[in-house]
Amino acid sequence: MSNGEKPKGKLALYWAASCGGCEIAVLAIDEKILDVAAAFDIVMWPCAADGKVRDIERMPDGSIDVCLFNGGIRTSEQEYMAQLMRRKSKVLVSFGSCATEGCIPGLSNMNTRQEVFDTVYKEGSSTAPVNPQDVRPQPETKVPEGTLHLPIFYDTLKTLDQTVDVDYYLPGCPPEAENIWKAIVAILEGKLPPKGSVIGMNTTVCDECKRKRNEKKIKKFYRTWQIIPDEETCLLEQGLLCCGIATRAGCGALCPQVNSPCIGCHGGNDGVADYGARLLSGVASVIDSGDPDEIDRIISEGIPDPVGSFYRFSLAGSQLRRKKKSKC
Amino acid sequence: MSNETFEPKIVGFLCNWCSYRAADLAGSARIKYAPNVRIIRLMCSGRVDPTFVVKALADGADGVMIAGCHPGECHYIEQNYKAMRRFHLLKQTLTALGVEPDRVQLVWASAAEGQRLAEAIDKLVADIKRLGPLRWPSNWDEDGGRLKALEEIVKEHEEAMEVPA
């Protein structure tokens, strides 16, 4: 691939349980997409190019050079596609937060399939009135012509690497254009890090944040709508739950720059087994109290949804992966 | 869920300076207490990364004990206060994830309090016996249809592929 005279490589993009933003983010590399098109035949890119699953299935194993796979694994169809893309690709990149850590779709691991379906088909303000018979998707439906199948919807959303072997990770929700381009260049030049690496920086957002930092002591946490923070001082010191202290750098501290706390979309740095646990460890240690009751009060008043705050992007990829199911 | 044969597996993170010595004292004083806690000695309760606790639970522990010096008596001045704050935040997080609050307990025991530590261990074991096994990884199981659904997809696609390329 390093030699421009060689035949073009094959590039695939695929999406599973995601919002589609990752696929659009690839287009944010602007005119450089032409360089990508010059180096690769794009064999699959649901959002931007034609490409049929059947054609992929017909390819010999390992014939796609690089597959950028975004989205978590939520249904049997997505699991099948993850296995297929793994088999057909030399390099499989877990692209973006959903594939890597579960991201926002992974937060539905706080519920079961039954609860998700209840919300969507029974209680939804737009769906319930048109579904008085409480019709729900069935994996099998018999019709005169035969049996129709729908994919199974899982109780627990899995990350890509909980499903198949993954070569590289690209963090972010979505990955920033600059980092996508860096990864593509690394692939083109054959200068990839060891297998299993995250293609990105290995320090925290605080290192990229220009705000002034002093000693952190927090008596009260505020939610973002409760205060207008000053634009100079560290947001965490002002009582906003800024996740920068535990979050992998690489974004240039985009959110703190615009007076909004980091929400942690890049996940943890290398060696962090559980992003949320690391973040809550750091946040808890700056609570300015030694009294158990006061500590409990500060937490419950300021952080009413600890899972949503600490595991917003990483619940599915965390050690516990989901909320305990009621019967098990 | 609890039954008489259930012996909980509990991971205990004990600080070197107080609680681990309390456990030593309980041993040399021949105090009897439940054998369910697997003790890991750390230099300080402030060393207990919440990751250790969630990893223990995710890997199959039924409960976790964190033990350190009494507040104000930390060998490292005030790190047990950090342990306390982390414990409270972790506990609220675990509760939201459906882990019963009694499964993870924080205990203060000085080097002279072998009896106190032994009683705390007995209480923790009794609490967890009452709650029953945690078996966290079973939360990730999907019900039966998954493999069959995957096979159906492969079959349908193979049929569609019969036309030669």
Q: What are the pLDDT digits (tens) for B54-80?
A: 999 999 999 999 999 999 999 999 999
Distance (Å, rounded) from C-alpha B38 to C-alpha A262?
A: 38
B110 Cβ contact list (under 8 Å, min separation 6): B18, B22, B69, B70, B73
Q: Looking at residue A152, what DSSP letter applies?
A: P
Q: Is there a domain that residue A132 lies in?
A: yes
Determine the Cα angle at A86 with ends A84 and A88, to 5°: 70
- The answer to whether A58 contacts B92, with C-beta atoms less than 8 Å apart, is no
Q: Above 80 in pLDDT, residue A103?
A: yes
Distance from CA of B24 to the nearest CA of A (A): 28
pLDDT at A128: 85
Q: In degrees to the nearest 10, what's the CA dihedral of B143, B144, B150, B156? A: -130
For residues A171 and A124, membership in a common domain is answered with no
Region of A146 on the Ramachandran plot (φ > 0 left; ψ -120 to 50 alpha; else beta): left
Per-residue burial over B122-152, b if 16 or more Cβ lie within 10 Å, else e, is eebbebbbebebbebeebbebeeebeebbeb
Would an 8 Å CB–CB cutoff place B145 in contact with chain A? yes
Q: Which CATH number do you get for residue A65?
A: 3.40.50.700
For residues A211 and A282, membership in a common domain is answered with yes
For residues A222 and A116, membership in a common domain is answered with no
Query: What structural domains does chain B harbor?
Result: 10-160 (3.40.50)
pLDDT at B161: 58
Phi, psi dihedrals of residue A193, rounded to the nearest 5°: -70, 175
pTM over 0.90, yes/no:
yes
Q: Which residue of A has its CA nearest to B88?
A: A296
Q: Is there a domain that residue A328 lies in?
A: no
For residues A248 and A210, membership in a common domain is answered with yes
* Residue B76 host element (H or E): none
For residues A61 and A132, membership in a common domain is answered with no
Q: Is there a domain that residue A320 lies in?
A: no
For residues A174 and A220, membership in a common domain is answered with no
Asked if residues A165 and A92 have their Cβ atoms less than 8 Å apart, the reply is yes
For residues A35 and A82, membership in a common domain is answered with yes
Q: Which residue of A has its CA nearest to B145?
A: A152
For residues A127 and A100, membership in a common domain is answered with no
Q: What is the distance between the terminal CA atoms of chain B, rounded to a whole angstrom?
A: 57
- The answer to whether A280 contacts B89, with C-beta atoms less than 8 Å apart, is yes
Asked if residues A60 and A277 have their Cβ atoms less than 8 Å apart, the reply is no
CA distances in angstroms from B104 to A300, B31, B57, listed in the order given: 18, 23, 10
Per-residue burial over A290-309, b if 16 or more Cβ lie within 10 Å, else e, is eeeeebeebbeebbeebbeb
- The answer to whether A299 contacts B92, with C-beta atoms less than 8 Å apart, is yes
Q: Above 90 in pLDDT, residue A2?
A: no
- The answer to whether B157 contacts A151, with C-beta atoms less than 8 Å apart, is no
Q: Least CB-CB distance to A290: which of B81, B89, B135?
A: B81
- The answer to whether A277 contacts B53, with C-beta atoms less than 8 Å apart, is yes
For residues A37 and A170, membership in a common domain is answered with yes
Q: Is there a domain that residue A25 lies in?
A: yes
- Per residue in A243-257, pLDDT tens? 999 999 999 999 999
In chain A, how many domains are there?
A: 3
pLDDT at B4: 65
The residue count for chain B: 165
For residues A210 and A300, membership in a common domain is answered with yes
pLDDT at A87: 97
Q: Is there a domain that residue A197 lies in?
A: no
Q: Is there a domain that residue A315 lies in?
A: no
For residues A253 and A143, membership in a common domain is answered with no
Q: Is there a domain that residue A325 lies in?
A: no
Distance from CA of A287 to the nearest CA of B (A): 7
Walk along chain B (165 residues) in steps of 10 and give the mean pLDDT of each run. 78 97 97 97 97 98 98 95 97 97 97 97 97 95 85 83 55
β-bridge partners, A147: A142
Q: Least CB-CB distance to B89: which of A152, A155, A284?
A: A284
For residues A246 and A177, membership in a common domain is answered with no
- Per residue in A216-228, pLDDT tens? 999 999 999 999 9
- The answer to whether A283 contacts B89, with C-beta atoms less than 8 Å apart, is yes
- Per residue in A272-296, pLDDT tens? 999 999 999 999 999 999 999 999 9
Question: What is this model's ipTM?
Answer: 0.93
Q: In degrees to the nearest 10, what's the CA dihedral of A119, A125, A131, A136? A: -20
Asked if residues B26 and B119 have their Cβ atoms less than 8 Å apart, the reply is no
Q: Which residue of B has its CA nearest to A311?
A: B93
Residue A5 pLDDT level (bands cut at 50, 70, 90): low
Decide: helix, strand or coil at residue A115: helix
Would an 8 Å CB–CB cutoff place A115 in contact with chain B? no
- Per residue in A121-175, pLDDT tens? 999 888 888 999 999 999 889 999 888 889 999 999 999 999 999 999 999 999 9
Domain of residue A142, residue span = 112-154
Give residues 28 to 57 of A whose Cβ lies within 8 Å of B. Answer: 53-54, 57
Residues of B in contact with A272 (CB under 8 A): 51
Distance (Å, rounded) from C-alpha A318 to C-alpha A157?
A: 12
Distance (Å, rounded) from C-alpha A238 to C-alpha A302?
A: 12
Residues of B in contact with A77 (CB under 8 A): 153
Q: Is there a domain that residue A1 lies in?
A: no
Would an 8 Å CB–CB cutoff place B86 in contact with chain A? yes
Q: Tell me whether residue A139 is exposed, middle or buried, using C-beta atoms within 10 angstroms of its C-beta: 0 to 12, 13 to 18, 19 or more.
A: middle
Q: Which residue of B has its CA nearest to A322?
A: B97
